[in-house]
Amino acid sequence: MQLGVGSCSISLLSEFLGFSPICDWREQPGLDLPTTLRIESTHRHHRVVQELEITPPWSYKPDCVESSNDIEPFCLYTSLTFADSRGVSVITTPTAAKSIEEMAAFTNKEALRGANTEPPFIYEARARPGRGIGLIANTRIYRGDRIFSHTPVLVINTKIYKAMPNSDREFLQKRGVARLPQKTREAYLALHGQFGGDLVNDIIATNAFRTELSSDGKDYLIVVPETARLNHACRPNVVSFLDPDTWTQHFHAIRDIDPNEEFYMQYINPLLVRQKRLDFLYSNCGFNCTCPRCNQPRFYTDISDSRLVVISDLFDRLSDQSVNRTATIDDAELLISLVKQEGLENILANAYLHAALECSFIGQKEKTKMYAALSIELAILLAGPKDEDVMTMQSLWDSPEEHWSWLYFANETVGGKMSTTT
């Protein structure tokens, strides 16, 4: 989602909307759908196209397979020393690997301080009826508390899906997992596979997150064994963001969590009504959702669905930045109230952001600051403190009058509908 006014804009990214890309990645045009992921290919001609040397941080000579577009091969790079010898295997092009090698995660040991270590006794993994293993809180956890921060063990440039047959990609994937340090490899291979077929590939299909890992914005799939144990619920209590500099995925509580409550993230767009959520989860993620929100009695589902329709409509109207827009601060406050009633704390930062902007449009300084602060508090859990949108909101909090949105329509539209200065 993009809020844009001239050259000034605040982009509300999909991750910012609070849903994980975990099943979304298989929706991308050109990527394999789950049915093809299930087929174990018999096609075997892994054309190793070039002999590359071992260069730090990599621990082996990269294995490369020619790509059908003939631009660049895709190669397997494994570092056994990455993240205190947790290790990582990366499948990408030699050019992308060069820029990865220069990232702080690989050049500065200090950058990974605190990653892959967990506060003790916060949670434990347990069998959950109808949904395999899940992570259960052992103690009360408060909104904003960090749950864990981990680095990926397998990283795949998504362009590979268009660039070569499945069998070639699977060859690189299998070798990538085989080369990981033993403990890491075992943790990977113990993960759940939902679709069957080649195990390494099935684990990717079931557990991968889609994310921008490199500074050049390239798309990657990542598998992080610890965070892969998080089940989905349509009212999540944890959210994540990935710091691209340190290659660390951080999870925080987005609301208070009781002892014995399961941690849930949201795999899909939170604005879908129940039947659409169930259909999407079944066709893209391969399971029938057993979360409490999908299983509540019809009466509550109907109320929830109608709230979601209004929430979507309000987001659309508040995002409309044309001079003919009809949205007001009342709409933004209604949105906040409905999002809270719906229990979607993972999109509350967006609702607060809209409220802050509406107040700024009409020059209400104190309320602008109040809503900006409320938005920032949650947005840093969803996108991280270095995120551009979070920094933009910070500037709205610091000095609303300096922000592009301040009395924007009053200045832009002389005598127009939006000249709503008080």
Ligand X SMILES: C[S@@+](CC[C@H](N)C(=O)[O-])C[C@H]1O[C@@H](n2cnc3c(N)ncnc32)[C@H](O)[C@@H]1O
Question: Under the rule (CB under 6 A), what is the footprint of ligand X?
Answer: 130-134, 191-192, 194, 206-207, 228-229, 231-233, 285-287, 289-291
Closer residue to ligand X in complex, CB, 92/201:
201
CB 135, min distance to ligand X, A? 8
Strands 154-157 and 88-92: parallel
Closer residue to ligand X in complex, CB, 156/372:
156
Closer residue to ligand X in complex, CB, 148/409:
148
CB 234, min distance to ligand X, A? 8
Task: Report whether 235 contacts 291 (CB < 8 A).
Answer: yes
CB 153, min distance to ligand X, A? 14
Burial 35-73 (b: 16+ CB within 10 A, else e): eebbeebeeeebeebeebeeeebbbeebbbbbbeeeebb
Closer residue to ligand X in complex, CB, 228/349:
228
CB 228, min distance to ligand X, A? 5
Q: Which 8-state DSSP code applies to residue 413?
A: S
User: By Cβ distance, which residue is nearest to ligand X?
Assistant: 132
CB 100, min distance to ligand X, A? 25
Burial 346-363 (b: 16+ CB within 10 A, else e): bbbbbbbbbbbbbbbbbb
Q: Starting at the edge strand that comes first in sequence, how are the strands of the sheet with 219-223 ordered?
A: 63-65, 74-79, 88-92, 154-157, 219-223, 209-212
Closer residue to ligand X in complex, CB, 86/235:
235
- Return the ∠ at Cα 133 (arms to 131 and 136), rounded to 5°: 105
Distance CA 266, CA 230 (A): 9
CB-CB neighbours of 311 under 10 Å: 21
CB 281, min distance to ligand X, A? 7
Closer residue to ligand X in complex, CB, 133/199:
133
